[in-house]
């Protein structure tokens, strides 16, 4: 009996037809659902005047120039223009990878892709800020939230709403104030150890107001990433949304401005 060898392209085509139609349409169906939803930007625009920790200093933006002539590129003369950016990685809405605080931690280019799209949980600190504008969201507050909304799901991204983001453009000096509404360290530990969340985020430039940045240190030294300086969390429900977070793939990067958005249910 003579064996016939089929061309590789034909084999691939036959394998495709062998896959059930339902499996072929999964992604298409998922896209149709996602495209029909409302998207909420959780990211601030940033510029040279953006609030930043005084230890880093303001960014500098300038026209990029030809290294030979030192002349800035322009659309009129060169057909294009571009910008030279000089800034610290932790600027604007940004990602902190574990390596930011941990010698052996992974850098931003090593964070798994599957950790960049996650179920989103929003914890609301604002009801407590009427009596204490710098309230730290406690484990007791979390228990009250779970009594109303159900248990925080394992693998989620958990964000803390404080409405600080409203001062970003309106009152930058107030945005940079200390103390500020933040996470309680015990709550951060509880979320990761007892609820198994993947990552957390918040609106302030720091995770908590402790002298030694206990929460941020714990998060990063335990292999998790966080997103700081988030926006528009008041436009996202407590549960049911997805978060997508992206950042440039800087080799051995220790932090960089990120783009985060929510897909509402």
Question: How confident is the model over 14-56, as pLDDT tens digits?
Answer: 444 455 556 568 999 999 999 999 999 999 999 999 999 999 9
Report d(CA 170, CA 163) in Å as an integer. 12
Q: Where in the chain are the domains?
A: 53-87, 94-263
Question: Given a cut of 90, is residue 10 above it in pLDDT?
Answer: no
Non-local (6+) Cβ contacts of 79 within 8 A are none
Contact call for residues 97 and 254 (beta carbons, < 8 A): yes
Least confident of 4-8, 60-64, 100-104, 151-155: 4-8
CATH class of the domain comprising 94-263: alpha beta
Average pLDDT on 54-76 reads 97
Separation of CA 57 from chain center:
22
Helix and strand totals (H; E) in the chain: 9, 13
Q: What is this structure's pTM?
A: 0.90
For residue 23, the model assigns a pLDDT of: 58
């Amino acid at each position: 009996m003579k064996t016939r060898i089929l061309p590789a392209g034909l084999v691939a085509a036959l394998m495709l037809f062998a896959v059930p139609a339902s499996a072929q349409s999964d992604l298409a169906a998922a896209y149709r659902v996602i495209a029909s939803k409302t998207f909420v930007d959780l990211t601030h625009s940033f510029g040279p005047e953006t609030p930043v920790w005084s230890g880093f200093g303001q960014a500098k933006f300038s026209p990029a120039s030809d290294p030979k002539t030192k002349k800035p590129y322009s659309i009129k003369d060169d057909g294009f223009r571009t910008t030279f950016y000089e800034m610290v990685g932790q600027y604007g809405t940004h990602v902190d990878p574990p390596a930011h605080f941990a010698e052996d931690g992974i850098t931003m280019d090593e964070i798994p892709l599957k950790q960049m799209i996650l179920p989103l949980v929003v914890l609301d600190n604002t009801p407590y800020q009427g009596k204490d504008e710098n309230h730290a969201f406690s484990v007791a507050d979390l228990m009250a939230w779970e009594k109303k909304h159900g248990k925080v799901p394992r693998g989620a991204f958990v964000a803390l709403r404080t409405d600080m983001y409203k001062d970003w453009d309106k009152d930058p000096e107030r945005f940079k104030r200390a103390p500020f509404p933040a996470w309680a360290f015990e709550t951060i530990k509880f979320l990761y150890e007892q609820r198994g969340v993947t990552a957390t985020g918040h609106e302030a430039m720091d995770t908590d107001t402790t002298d030694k940045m206990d929460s941020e240190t714990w998060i990063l030294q335990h292999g998790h990433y966080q997103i700081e300086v988030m926006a528009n969390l008041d436009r996202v429900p407590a549960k049911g949304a997805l978060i997508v977070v992206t950042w440039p793939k800087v080799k051995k990067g220790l932090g960089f401005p990120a783009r985060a958005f929510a897909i509402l249910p």
